[in-house]
Structure 1
Amino acid sequence: MIFSRLRRWATLIKRDVLVLGFAFRDPRTPWWNKLAMLGLVAYGISPIDLIPDVIPFVGLLDDAVIIPTGVMLLLRLLPREVRISSSERAHSQRARGKKIAGWVVLVGLIWLALVIYLLRQ
């Protein structure tokens, strides 16, 4: 029961992130909203957190709270017409089954390269 709720919640967050991705590319999206989206993405993939992950439970909990809260807040701050058109594009994209995993891998490799570079200095 709890796993089905978590799976549904994760699916909704993935859809909302896809909507934000389309909204980021939309020229009608305000610049400050795009900047906030970039900040949330940078926080999500950054190895630096507000609460370090080595603290057993609380370290991972901050990511599980900050990222979804930021996604929901950014969706609410989007202009209505941008949100609707981005949602329609995300729905059609999900219907075709196109994946964004390649971008996630690319960003992860860039972070890994940056960490290795900094450790060698």
Structure 2
Amino acid sequence: MKKIKEWAEKIIKQLELLYKIYTHSKTPWYAKLFIGIVIAYALSPIDLIPDFIPVLGYMDDFLLLPLGIYISLKLVPKDIIEECRELDVDYSRFRNNKVLGTVVIILIWIILIYLILKNLF
């Protein structure tokens, strides 16, 4: 249980770093777009695979979120990452903005469903 708690704290710290990078003026637009999706997914109560599905329901949280963080950090120049690690940022907006995350994930789902239906019919 202690390892899971440490893992969760590490993920939260990485998401806080992503938030700093997202708000940085020199972050490339494509990195901001991907980081915005990762942060929205992390804040959203809606998962790609519902948690009530045994094993798979929690695997998306254990796999997709760390993978999204990893890819996000690879999209950003190292100097921006280092600069953001030194910044002191107020995270109250980040931690309390679950509504925005939910809206973004719902919009992504609507767009995906629309594209699938458009190609089927």
Aligned residues: 104
SS in 1 for 2:4: helix
- Given the superposition, is the C-alpha separation of residues 110 and 25 from structure 1 closer, same or farther in structure 2, using an over 3 Å criterion? closer
TM-score, scaled relative to structure 2:
0.68
Q: Deviations over 1:73-111 (max 9, x none)?
A: 21122101100011112xx55xxxx6x356433424984
CA distance in 2, matches of 1:64, 1:78: 23
1:34 to partner: Cα distance: 0.3
1:14 to 12, 19, 32: 12
Specify the code of the residue in structure 1 equivalent to 2:32.
K
Aligned residue among 59, 79, 82 for 1:81: 79
Picking from 19, 28, 31, the partner of 1:30 is 28
Equivalent residues of 2:43, 2:97 under 8 A apart? no
2:44·2:99 contact (CA, 8 Å) conserved in 1? no
Q: Distance in 1 between matches of 2:39 and 2:94?
A: 12
State the partner residue of 1:65: 63
CA offsets, 1:41-72, max 9 Å, x none? Answer: 23334454332323122112212210111112
Q: TM-score, normalised by structure 1?
A: 0.68
Identity %: 30
What is the identity, as a one-letter code, of the residue corresponding to 1:107? K
Q: Structure 1: 5+ residue runs without aligned partners?
A: 116-121
Q: Which amino acid aligns with 1:84?
A: E
> 2:31, 2:75 within 8 Å by CA — same for their partners in 1?
yes
Query: How far off its partner does 1:14 sit?
Result: 1.4
- RMSD over aligned CA atoms reads 2.7
